[in-house]
Amino acid sequence: MNTFFDVVSAVLIIAGATVALIAAIGVVALRDARSAMHAAAKPASLGVLLCGSGAVLQLDDLSSVSKLVVVVIIQFVTAPVGAHMLSHGVSSDTDSSDDTYN
Amino acid sequence: MNVAFTIALVILLIAAAIVSSRAIRRGTIGDRAVAIDGLTALITCGLLIAAGLTGNSTFLDLALVLGLLAFLTSVTVARFIERRGL
């Protein structure tokens, strides 16, 4: 059973790191700031969820597990709000005023 | 088991290097703010992986504080850009 948890945890953590790497490539490859935000907002929730659920299988005491759940929940609440505020600020700048979706 | 965690940490390090290259290179303040917002999410992932690897719950405290500070930072920078019209 312990080996099973280890394998599931390894798969989840490698998946989370791969999502983060793909998103990082997207941040560099996409030209506009708002297009890059489309890529950058993914690991903020999905990557943290995958890495957190991989790490929670390795923890054994209740205080660590509850702390990790709080981390993931706070990330899920604040990341979309922060990205929305940032997109609102970026879309009002003068450099992207010639975009089609302004 | 430790091999998988180390591989994931190396992948996250490569991703952080790529994202911070955008934060250093690209011009406008919006580009840099987006890149740094992504960078804090990568650091949070790395802290969660480190907590799972070592079993040390101090990394979870760090991840909690970093998540709250990242939200505060992105909101502050967004309002700054909006106010100043940068």
Q: What is the pLDDT of residues A50-100, one digit of tens each?
A: 999 999 999 888 999 999 999 999 999 998 898 888 888 877 655 544 444
Q: What is the pLDDT of residue A100?
A: 44
Question: Residues near A66 by Cβ (< 8 Å), separated by ≥ 6?
Answer: none
Per-domain residue ranges of chain B: 2-84
pTM for the model = 0.87
Question: Region B61-77: what's the mean pLDDT?
Answer: 92
Alpha-carbon distance of B39 to A39, in angstroms, equals 12
- Residue A31 within a domain: yes
H helix count then E strand count, chain A: 4, 0
Q: What is the pLDDT of residues A11-39, one digit of tens each?
A: 999 999 999 999 999 988 888 888 888 88
When scoring A18, A59, A85 by the number of chain B Cβ atoms within 10 A, the one with the most, hence best to mutate, is: A85
Residues in B touching A75 (Cβ below 8 Å):
41, 44, 67
**Domain count along chain A:** 1
Question: Residues near B22 by Cβ (< 8 Å), separated by ≥ 6?
Answer: A27, A28, A36, B31, B35
User: What DSSP string describes A40-101?
Assistant: HHHIIIIIHHHHHHHHHTT--SHHHHHHHHHHHHHHHHHHHHHHHHHHHHHTTSSTTTTSTT
Contact A86, A37 (CB under 8 A): yes
What mean pLDDT value characterizes chain B?
89
State yes or no: ipTM above 0.90.
no
Question: Residue B58 pLDDT more than 60?
Answer: yes
B44 confidence band (pLDDT: 50, 70, 90): very high
Angle between helices B58-84 and A62-90 (to 10 degrees): 10
Alpha-carbon distance of B1 to B48, in angstroms, equals 15
* Domain region containing A63: 2-90
> Tell me, what DSSP letter sits at residue A100?
T
- Residue A100 within a domain: no
When scoring A38, A75, A88, A94 by the number of chain B Cβ atoms within 10 A, the one with the most, hence best to mutate, is: A75
- Amino acid, res. A18: T
